Amino acid sequence: MPAPTIDVVVATFNGWEMTESCLRHLEAQTIPHTVIVVDNGSADGTPERLHAAFTDVKLCALGENRGFAAACNAGVGAGVGEFIVLVNNDVDADAHFLERLIGPLLSDEHTGSVAPLLVRPGGERIDSVGLAADPTLAGFPRLQGRPVADASERRPELLGPSGGGGAYRRTAWEDAGGMDEGIFLYQEDLDLALRLRQSGWQAAIAPDAVGVHLGSATAQRRSMWQRERAGFARGYILRRYGVLCSAVGPRALLTEALVAGGDAAVSRDLAALRGRLRGFGAADGLPRRARPQHGPDPSIGLRESLRLRRVDYAAAAATRRAANRVP
């Protein structure tokens, strides 16, 4: 039986030191693979350093910051592997990471994506085991902050991998259409997971595929630009999936009012609200996407959803900034 072919896509925007560490850990993997680095116009010499230090790595230089979704799509398009693995440049993968991550794809042809165990520095706490979504399609890192021993827990229900790390069957990726480049950052991984589940693909976890997510080492308050972009993504998804016109519409409106209002009170600006309105408007006229029957967890109530958002916000700034997805 021929060995599986694997393309590992790493998106970068500055942060060479983290990228170098990520690539060194990928060099130590136990199975063959091809690494494709997609650079979003780094100004720190990342492309030149990459050529000098990693001659076997394929570089796709976009010349400008086109966002995480566009970078991932470009990287996937530059490869031909049967399996696609996305890895943030701030993730240091264990040597068996790839081998264990693609295991569920090899054992079940109906599995379209696999989420690894990403841990915080120190290895004691979970950063994420994929994504979960509540009935309003608000997404959260699964099991974030819990002990590593809880990594195999089945609740909340797994929706799919996070953008920090995950494996995809190429046929599933192509079936779903890849990432939506209408979202510059935040929730592009959630949207892809929703479309994969709607297309009938199953998602799995590989709790023995471990990566240290350095982006969770320090948390900081997000900038106005980041908060507006996060709001944009949320508004975009609300409209594309017709959430406000569904049975959970009233709950979604209440939740967004509480979240945007709370953000305005703390930050003393309207970035979160402004972003939601712009994202909602950007989806105007686009085809509505069907909500998957399986994936979103109906057991996540309003109070739990708000609690999860607070946990998510506490880690989001470091995760995205360290992953170099923002200017």
Of 60, 58, 53, residue with least CA distance to 24: 53
pLDDT tens digits, one per residue of 110-129: 999 999 999 999 999 999 99
Q: Which DSSP string corresponds to 64-103?
A: S---HHHHHHHHHHT---SEEEEE-TTEEE-TTHHHHHTH
For the chain, the average pLDDT equals: 92
Residues with Cβ < 8 Å from 95, sequence gap 6 or more?
Answer: 25, 28, 29, 30
Q: What is the band of 290 on the pLDDT scale with cuts at 50, 70, 90?
A: very high
Considering Cα of 121, then 124, then 129, then 133, what sign does the dihedral take?
negative
Instruction: Determine the average pLDDT of the residues in 7-31.
Output: 96
Rg of the chain taking only CA atoms, in angstroms: 18
Give the three-class secondary structure for 207: strand
Q: How many domains is the chain built from?
A: 1
Q: What is the band of 327 on the pLDDT scale with cuts at 50, 70, 90?
A: very low
pLDDT at position 216: 53
Judge if pTM exceeds 0.85: yes
Domain of residue 107, residue span: 1-327
Residues with Cβ < 8 Å from 229, sequence gap 6 or more?
Answer: 184, 185, 186, 275, 326
Phi-psi group of 67: left, alpha or beta (phi > 0 → left; psi -120 to 50 → alpha; rest → beta) = left
**Weakest mean pLDDT among 83-92, 118-127, 296-305, 307-316:** 307-316
pLDDT of residue 166 exceeding 50: yes
pLDDT at position 197: 98
pLDDT at position 217: 46
Instruction: Give the span between the Cα atoms of 23 and 244, in whole angstroms.
Output: 43
Q: Note the residue count of the chain.
A: 327
Q: Please state the separation of Cα 39 from the chain's center in Å.
A: 17
Largest CA distance in the chain: 60
* CATH number, residue 18: 3.90.550.10
